[in-house]
Structure 1
Amino acid sequence: MAAGAAAGDRVAVAALDLPDAEVDWPDTGHTVEVHRAVLRREIVAFHVGEEPGEDADLLWFDITEADLVAQHLTDS
């Protein structure tokens, strides 16, 4: 589950296109850290849980659907 997410929260992931040198990769787990502001143009896709919970299937959204992603997250 994403850091800070509650059990009933919907999982949301922004997929970025960054150089490896700008990302801190963990020894374990799945959460990476970027220590600078991320520009919108660097986001290539969003993945959002179809329903709340960490085991939900992830829906894929292109960056051009960012407004739809925001609506999808606020409607739940």
Structure 2
Amino acid sequence: MKRIEGQMRGITKMMAEDRDCTEVLQQMTALEAAIRAAKSKVLAIHAAECIEDALQGDDIAAQREQFSELIELFGKVSR
């Protein structure tokens, strides 16, 4: 997250300095990649916890609901 924050500050500074659009866009692309990586990491942690919780419970309906919510979240994150 600190890397993302630093990249955002750098992009803001580049724009304030009226830097070349190509350079700014390259940095924005790097920022998007960093955000995607962070989202994937958070999702992986959440998925592991969600699966662990579901496996520990005996409530099949609750397990299905958690699984369904997890699938929905995967869909949102992958957009």
TM-score by length of 2: 0.25
Please state which structure has a larger fraction of its residues in strand.
1
Please state which structure has a larger fraction of its residues in helix.
2
Greater CA radius of gyration, 1 or 2?
A: 2
Q: Between the two structures, name the one with larger relative contact order (CA 8 Å, sep ≥ 6).
A: 1
TM-score by length of 1: 0.26
